[in-house]
Structure 1
Amino acid sequence: MSTDATQQQSPSIRTTPILISFLIAGFIGLFSETALNMALGDLIQEFTISPSTVQWLTTGYLLTLGILVPVSGLLIQWFSTRQLFIASMVFSIIGTLIAAIAPGFGILMLARVIQAIGTGLLLPLMFNTILVIFPIHKRGATMGLMGLVIMFAPAIGPTVSGLIIEHLKWNYIFWVSLPFFVIALLFGLKYMQNVSSITKPKIDVPSIILSTIGFGGIVYGFSIVGDQGWRDVIVLSSLIVGLIALFLFAVRQFNMDKPMIDLRVFKYPMFTLGLLTVFITFMIIMSSMILLPLYLQTGLTLAAFSAGLVLLPGGVLNGIMSPITGRIFDKFGPRGLVIPGFIIMIAMLWFLTNVTTETSIIMVIAMHTFLMIGVSMVMMPAQTNGLNQLPKNLYPDGTALMNTLQQVSGAIGTTVAITIMSASQKNYIANAKDPFDPSAISGSLTAGVQDAFIFGFVLAIAGLIISFFIKTAREK
């Protein structure tokens, strides 16, 4: 994308309607992504499937994103902003409609993949557009506003879906989402503008194949490890083939004049540190989002709606904090936010490793709320600071990498957390006097959740160490 073209367009670009179009679409897309977590228990019973199978509704979604998002940097340079936005909404609407009428697990899984294609097109396009239409001194506040909407959606997702599940069937989660996708599409049709120049770089098929095998293989390997175990041939093969493909992909990108993803973004240290920080934080978010609903519903025997209400304050406060941290970032930079943010996360994750079936609801609300405050202090500031250091021609590559590794980290975080939890559960049940006693079942899950949160605790310590090296980035 040429700087001149962008500057020529700037006076006629109406930033507010464009931003609103993305916020509506992003909000409902992320709502439908996390809302299904509360229905996993119902889906296990209705479709008579195992927890590791139902987990594919989350990891399959992330696998599709991990395959599609790397190609997004190329798509942004081949198709206009309007074309990609409309395509993302059409895929989201079709996927949501199929999910709403899905008669079995296979069709629901297919619907989730189609939904993920819509999200995979939307997220990189949204971040790239924000970088193009807003100057560097306003990006913190704008990213904060995006954070408000993006984090508020997952926050109310479990509560609204819990309410729906108590009174209606799980598929009404999708019927509720559908009209909002249609509204987002209509709003985008009216107000979305083309803000980037279409350069149509050469499509390198080997790069696309290597990227798909690489990211897909790693996400797939982590996704089936809960079922198959770490010694399984398919698990090890997927991970090894994925890593080899990614290595070959990287070598090919460095040797191309016009690579699919320009890996020279790693020459910018603040981008690399921002990427690592976001990778770690997203693993913590996704692992917590799957562990806490299971703990609340099985360990503390709360109804789905009640469990959703417990998680609501933290998510809402996280959303409210995002614009505040965005403005602080614009004035003072990232260090004063990211370091304290990780310290708060470390403290809360340590407390969560000690939850029991006797832990009070108030304590769980407090721990989750402060954990989400820590997340809001890290996520958007680290992401914005990293992208700020890149020159304009590397925006599509930076946003593609940032979003791809978020999906990969989400899949890894979810899978590792469930694997640790399942192993601890089996160990607990094996040593129980009466494995079929209901208290042993809730106790086993609680013990599993405790051990799984140790994984998040270790991640947060690694994030804190990285955060000491982060400085305010300046655009090159």
Structure 2
Amino acid sequence: MPALTLEDLRARYGERYKWLVLLTCMIGSVAAILSSTIVNVAIPDLSKYFTLGQERAQWVSAGFMLAMTLSMLTTPWLLMRFGLRRTYTGAIALLLFGGVVGGFSINYPMLLSMRVIEGLAAGVMQPIPAIVILRAFDQHEQGRAMGIFGFGVVLAPAIGPSVGGFLVELFGWRSIFFVVVPPCLIVFFLIRRFLPAYTPLLDKAKPLDWKGLLLVGVSIISLLNGLVELRGDVPQAIALLVLGVASFIAFIVYQLRTKAEPLMNVKLFSYRQFAMGALVAFIYGMGLFGSTYLLPIYMQVAMHYAPSRAGLVLLPAGIVLAVTIPLAGRLADRYPPNVLVCIGLAFLTASFGLMATGSPATSYFMLMTWAVIGRIGLGFVLPALNLGAMRGLDFSLIAQGASTINFVRQLGGAIGVSMVGIVLEWRIAVHESRQALGIDNHRSAFNETFFLVAVLCGIAVVAAWYMRANQPAQETGISTNAAK
């Protein structure tokens, strides 16, 4: 089918066209998130196969998130330069390549390289649905659209570990990499049918800010490696952490002074609700992704469940989440988003706090119940966080805002995964030094790590309360310009 123009497609599909575009973006995001979360249930098997400790095994997840964090900053430029159709097609092709080749990995460096490639593709895709929603939907529809999008996106991490657990048991860890193939092929079909030949969402493209990308890349890589080295070479760790902080400061200064199109428009942080939303997104990312990495390992290593049962513990929580998130999306159209985010984070804090009390007497049903509490919280946070942070932005800053808020959340997630892996390894070592390692020592180390995640989410509740707009959203022109 030859690619049609935007006007032709709108004439053919009418009012439902924006929903079809959102569906296309949603399925691609589901594939990306699936590739991110499904591998966590296979970490114990990967650790045995490649002889990895927790400090190296966590890079299977952290490496993906690191690449995802960096590449999402390039999304506005890619949309300006290539348009939605070509940008999304390239990202899906890269994700498919990383998944298929990753499944045939013969060593750990090859596996890690493919995870990085998958992360690069996922990062480009992540900000696009929020951009589509805030540009194509009227304000009274944005919460519902975000809720429907969130329904699809959260279905992936809910079902992913369950499917992944069975695949690992039946076919081994390689099989989980091939899960992205069906959704990627579906998206290729939808792109050809619903995305126009060339639709740059922004103004004329400027050169990509390579200097800024290099500075932030050096910063993030140095910070994550510095965290890992804290368990080994402390002087080297301090040097890497100092380099990471210095590089990030240099990145911010450069973004303020550059005449090129900045990767991160610092003007965004002059909006109080965006600045507080970014802080919430960072802490929330640390807690959410850190716990997503931690829970399947906890179920297998500390609670001694098979991979299939370890993944299945999240399935009821996923069903509850699927019901919660559309409801929360509608509530986001009626109530202040910061209130909904606070409620959601409070539920997440409670869930992780309960996980920290796990003992030999804790039943499988109880673990499911605690996971359900956390997913209810997640359902309240997801639709409201982006809307609450970006509703007050100037119309011209929406694409940059969507990219930046996702960047900050993923940066928190990458640091959270690394921190959880490092803290867990440290606490296991502490308990080993006290007595011979056994099941109780493992469980104690996990409980202490879950408590850390609960504290992080509790801090985010305070930040979320101040995520209120300085001005009414209608003054920004989002509603009046949405159909343009």
TM-score, normalising length: structure 1:
0.91
Kept in 2, the 8 Å contact 1:226–1:418? The answer is no
Secondary structure in 2 matching 1:326: helix
Match of 1:460 among 457, 461, 464: 457
**Cα distance change, pair 129–55 in 1 and its aligned pair in 2 (3 A):** same
Say whether residues 1:150 and 2:153 are aligned partners.
yes
Deviation at 1:80, TM superposition (A): 0.5
CA distances 1:4-35 after superposition (whole Å, capped 9, x unpaired):
xx999988782122111111111122112111
For 1:470, the equivalent position in structure 2 comes to 467
Correspondences of 1:201-212 after superposition (within 5 Å): 201-212=206-217
Kept in 2, the 8 Å contact 1:142–1:326? The answer is yes
Secondary structure in 1 matching 2:126: helix
Kept in 2, the 8 Å contact 1:92–1:115? The answer is yes
For 1:443, the equivalent position in structure 2 comes to 440
For 1:246, the equivalent position in structure 2 comes to 248
Deviation at 1:160, TM superposition (A): 0.2
Moved more, 211-220 or 279-288: 211-220
Kept in 1, the 8 Å contact 2:350–2:373? The answer is no
**Cα distance change, pair 180–468 in 1 and its aligned pair in 2 (3 A):** closer
Separation (CA, whole Å) in 2 of partners of 1:15 and 1:391: 22
Deviation at 1:232, TM superposition (A): 4.0
Kept in 2, the 8 Å contact 1:278–1:379? The answer is no
For 1:190, the equivalent position in structure 2 comes to 193
Amino-acid identity (%): 23
Secondary structure in 2 matching 1:331: coil
For 2:299, the equivalent position in structure 1 comes to 296
**Cα distance change, pair 327–195 in 1 and its aligned pair in 2 (3 A):** farther
For 2:404, the equivalent position in structure 1 comes to 401
Deviation at 1:294, TM superposition (A): 1.6
Deviation at 1:218, TM superposition (A): 2.6
Secondary structure in 2 matching 1:291: helix
Moved more, 340-349 or 367-376: 340-349
**Cα distance change, pair 212–418 in 1 and its aligned pair in 2 (3 A):** closer
Separation (CA, whole Å) in 2 of partners of 1:49 and 1:346: 31
For 2:268, the equivalent position in structure 1 comes to 265
Match of 2:100 among 72, 86, 97: 97
Deviation at 1:159, TM superposition (A): 0.4
Q: CA RMSD in A?
A: 2.2
- Structure 2 letter corresponding to 1:449: F
Kept in 2, the 8 Å contact 1:349–1:453? The answer is yes
Kept in 1, the 8 Å contact 2:70–2:213? The answer is no
CA distances 1:104-131 after superposition (whole Å, capped 9, x unpaired):
2221111111111211111122322222
For 1:228, the equivalent position in structure 2 comes to 232
For 2:218, the equivalent position in structure 1 comes to 213
Deviation at 1:370, TM superposition (A): 0.3
Secondary structure in 1 matching 2:403: helix
Kept in 2, the 8 Å contact 1:299–1:357? The answer is no
CA distances 1:378-407 after superposition (whole Å, capped 9, x unpaired):
233022111111112111211121111122
Separation (CA, whole Å) in 1 of partners of 2:82 and 2:26: 21
Secondary structure in 2 matching 1:418: helix
Deviation at 1:339, TM superposition (A): 2.5
Separation (CA, whole Å) in 2 of partners of 1:118 and 1:214: 21
Say whether residues 1:117 and 2:120 are aligned partners.
yes
CA distances 1:417-444 after superposition (whole Å, capped 9, x unpaired):
2222222211212222x43xxxx1x222
For 2:277, the equivalent position in structure 1 comes to 274
Say whether residues 1:85 and 2:116 are aligned partners.
no
For 1:255, the equivalent position in structure 2 comes to 257
For 1:26, the equivalent position in structure 2 comes to 29
Kept in 1, the 8 Å contact 2:359–2:443? The answer is yes
**Cα distance change, pair 208–335 in 1 and its aligned pair in 2 (3 A):** closer
Deviation at 1:94, TM superposition (A): 0.8
For 2:479, the equivalent position in structure 1 comes to none
For 1:3, the equivalent position in structure 2 comes to none
- Structure 1 letter corresponding to 2:245: L
Deviation at 1:195, TM superposition (A): 5.8
Separation (CA, whole Å) in 2 of partners of 1:105 and 1:218: 22
CA distances 1:41-83 after superposition (whole Å, capped 9, x unpaired):
1111122222222211111111112222222232222220111
CA distances 1:161-207 after superposition (whole Å, capped 9, x unpaired):
11111111211112232122112122112212326144112444432
- Structure 2 letter corresponding to 1:377: F
- Structure 2 letter corresponding to 1:76: L
Kept in 1, the 8 Å contact 2:72–2:125? The answer is no
Say whether residues 1:51 and 2:48 are aligned partners.
no
Separation (CA, whole Å) in 2 of partners of 1:162 and 1:226: 32
Deviation at 1:227, TM superposition (A): 4.9
Separation (CA, whole Å) in 2 of partners of 1:366 and 1:380: 23
Separation (CA, whole Å) in 2 of partners of 1:247 and 1:259: 18
Deviation at 1:220, TM superposition (A): 3.7
Say whether residues 1:141 and 2:140 are aligned partners.
no
**Cα distance change, pair 136–232 in 1 and its aligned pair in 2 (3 A):** farther
- Structure 2 letter corresponding to 1:248: A
Secondary structure in 1 matching 2:201: coil
Separation (CA, whole Å) in 2 of partners of 1:245 and 1:467: 28
Kept in 2, the 8 Å contact 1:141–1:323? The answer is yes
Secondary structure in 1 matching 2:314: helix
Match of 2:370 among 360, 367, 381: 367
Deviation at 1:239, TM superposition (A): 2.2
Deviation at 1:257, TM superposition (A): 4.4
Match of 1:200 among 205, 212, 218: 205
- Structure 2 letter corresponding to 1:211: V
The count of aligned residue pairs is 462
- Structure 2 letter corresponding to 1:61: F
**Cα distance change, pair 211–428 in 1 and its aligned pair in 2 (3 A):** closer
For 1:75, the equivalent position in structure 2 comes to 78
**Cα distance change, pair 428–220 in 1 and its aligned pair in 2 (3 A):** closer
